[in-house]
Amino acid sequence: MKHLMLTAAGLALMAGGAQAADDLTLQLKWVTQAQFAGYYVAKDKGFYDEEDLNVTIKAGGPDIAPTQVLAGGGADVIVEWMPAALAAREKGLPLVNIAQPFKSSGMMLTCLKESGIADPGTDFAGKTLGVWFSGNEYPFLSWMSTLGLSTEGGEGGVTVLKQGFNVDPLLQKQAACISTMTYNEYWQVIDAGLSEDDLVTFKYEDQGVATLEDGLYTLESTLEDSAKVDALVRFVRASIKGWKYAEENPEEAAQIVIDNDETGAQTIEHQTRMMSEIAKLTAGSDGTLDEADYQRTVDILMAGGSDPVISAAPEGAFSHVITERAFD
């Protein structure tokens, strides 16, 4: 009986001394979809639990700017494209890239073949092109600047159509080309009835104007807090584990995304296809930001002639502290 009492007391002491999981909130760039599968997989498979983390994943949307959520204290870390992050940093928000799960860009322009566009260098002039805004326009503006094309319209420039997050301008022939992602909107065009033979696509990667997408960002002040740094180290380690699992198990990852979609708007077919395309973009990354990729992004954003996206090379815009500790 004495032995049993001591054992119970010991267990009680151990339970009392156990540390509670650290809370951490992640703000996504867009709605729940396979674009963010690695984070949902990490949560669903218990990878965050294994790191003593209680992670809340907040879906984004057309009216949600991750940088503003972070600035307002609504998240500890966000998923954002580097052009938007660097533009925000130059305007005074001290964003820092702490990890880069995406190695390649999925952005492209999808054009109607009947528009006669075959070469961006000669055929965009005089055409209407659909472009996303809210920070997503920066890669496009840099590309047009590289081509020497005004975005104010006219024969020597392009007319910019402010595109909603749909493919209607192409289907309704309001634009010769629209912005699409390899893993999402392009397939919406196909599903709407157009065939690949009806289209011409120009990937930013192929045009040499690709910038980094879907990195993880936090504030400089967060990196000055040792407890928060420790939590971010564990978060990044578990997240990359989730991404690699998603790459290797796309169908299971797609189902996990569906299970976390509170809107019920997603379908397993679309998410499985999206996950397969997303895996091509995360392949080759262990989560560590490649400084050559970073520099390429900066150079592209500064090549804007009289109106570049950023006017000076950033300082302190990324840190390897988290990934170095996460993967030592």
Q: Are residues 99 and 222 in the same domain?
A: yes
* pLDDT tens digits along 173-225: 999 999 999 999 999 999 999 999 999 999 999 999 999 999 999 999 999 99
Q: Is the pLDDT of residue 55 over 50?
A: yes
Could you say which of 144, 177, 203 is where a domain stops? 203
Per the structure, the count of domains in the chain is 2
**What pLDDT is stored for residue 14 in this prediction?**
45
Q: Are residues 99 and 131 in the same domain?
A: no
Q: Are residues 113 and 100 in the same domain?
A: no
What percentage of the chain exceeds 90 in pLDDT?
82
CA distances from 196 to 11, 110, 162, 179, 187 (A): 64, 10, 24, 16, 10
Strand order in the sheet with 215-219: 53-58, 22-27, 77-80, 215-219, 95-99
CATH of the domain at 121: 3.40.190.10
Q: Closest by alpha carbon to 77, among 240, 287, 237, 218?
A: 218
Q: Coil, helix or strand for 201? A: strand
* pLDDT tens digits along 197-207: 999 999 999 99
Containing structural domain, residue 195: 107-203
Could you say which of 172, 203, 234 is where a domain stops? 203
**Is 6 domain-assigned?**
no
Could you say which of 171, 186, 203 is where a domain stops? 203
Mean pLDDT of 229-242: 98
Q: Are residues 46 and 61 in the same domain?
A: yes
Q: Are residues 268 and 321 in the same domain?
A: yes
**Is 3 domain-assigned?**
no
Q: Closest by alpha carbon to 103, among 226, 178, 214?
A: 214
What does the alpha-carbon distance between residue 175 and residue 181 come to, in Å, rounded to a whole number?
A: 17
* DSSP per residue, 77-133: EEEE-HHHHHHHHHTT--EEEEEB---S--EEEEEEGGGT---HHHHSTT-EEEE--
Question: Which pTM value belongs to this model?
Answer: 0.90
Q: Are residues 147 and 191 in the same domain?
A: yes
Q: Look at the block and give the residue holding tokens 């996990």.
A: 256
